[in-house]
Amino acid sequence: MDINKKITDIIRDKSTQLPTLPVIIENILKITGDDKTSSEDLAAFISKDQAMVNKILKIANSAYYGLSRKVGSLSHAITIIGFNEVTNLTIGLNVFSIFQKLGVRGILNMKDLWLHSIGCALIGKKIAKKTGKGNVEQCFLSGLLHDMGKVILAVYFSEEYSTVLRDANESQAPLHLKEIEKLGLDHAMIAGMLMEQWNFPDSIAIPCRFHHNSSACPPSYRTQAIEIEIANNLCHRAEIGRSGNSVIGNINKIQGKLGFTSKKLDIFLSNLIEEYTIAEEFFTLIS
């Protein structure tokens, strides 16, 4: 059986050891986009998991939100930091802990990968805010989860993936292209497949699926895919974490679609001073 088929089977076949999403997240995903859901409904779901409540409160009180008033309860957090923010944080934190538990056996440095992911989330959000395009909170969550296909490869195909990582490094090839060459699909496609399997909304799954090929993304989600592709590039350039890539991709063809010239992007990059510290703090809070 070729490896492409094996990877697809692991993700599609519910009988494998691939973790399932906790019920809390299944419930939250069901209510995502439902205008009738109230803050009380959301608080009721999350309150069933006290560890999650504690993490959300820690983040709400961290430098990331920079609030002057202390947030003391989940309902307060929802009021102060917002319904969508709490929803996305809860989803992101749960997925983070699922992958933390999987174990990667030294092929990828998980701390570096999460710092990179948090960095992309922070930068993606900043790009969406600056351009006024795309959904700011969805950009944050897509940025946080965009590279989770790498964890699947590192956990379930550790031997093959270590060869891919080594080959990409030795030949100085973009990692996702080396994955396609050696495995028949890349980590972005795997992330997209996994999110589809987990019933994530298309607004998160599709931009992640196309984060290395945003020009090919369906039009409704293309802006967000471009934002993640640019955030990914800037995160590498700002050296926030690492994600197994030896070369930084070229975004000359896509940056203009959001109105960025190379000069404007350089200025934007030079203003990403706080992101490294916030990413480190965020990582400490959720680990």
Could you list the residues that contact Fe ion (CB under 5 A)?
A: 147, 232, 243
Closest CA relative to residue 126, chosen from 252, 214, 231, 215: 231
Q: Give the ranges where the chain is alpha helix by DSSP (H).
A: 3-12, 23-31, 39-47, 50-60, 74-81, 83-102, 110-131, 136-145, 148-156, 158-171, 175-183, 187-197, 202-209, 219-237, 252-255, 262-270, 275-286
How crowded is the C-beta side of 16, counted as CA atoms within 13 Å? 12
- The smaller minimum CB distance to Fe ion, of residues 85 and 229, is found at 229
Smallest distance from Fe ion to CB 177, Å: 11
Distances in Å between the alpha carbon of 198 and those of 30, 51, 117, 149? 11, 22, 20, 13
45's CB contacts (< 8 A; 6+ apart) are 24, 27, 28, 31
The residue written with tokens 């984060």 in the block is: 211
State how far the Cα of 115 lies from the Cα of 279, in Å rounded to an integer: 6
- The smaller minimum CB distance to Fe ion, of residues 29 and 148, is found at 148
Residue 200 near residue 29 (C-beta atoms within 8 A): yes
253's CB contacts (< 8 A; 6+ apart) are 215
- The smaller minimum CB distance to Fe ion, of residues 61 and 243, is found at 243
Q: Give the ranges where 132-218 is alpha helix by DSSP (H).
A: 136-145, 148-156, 158-171, 175-183, 187-197, 202-209
Smallest distance from Fe ion to CB 231, Å: 8
- The smaller minimum CB distance to Fe ion, of residues 147 and 275, is found at 147
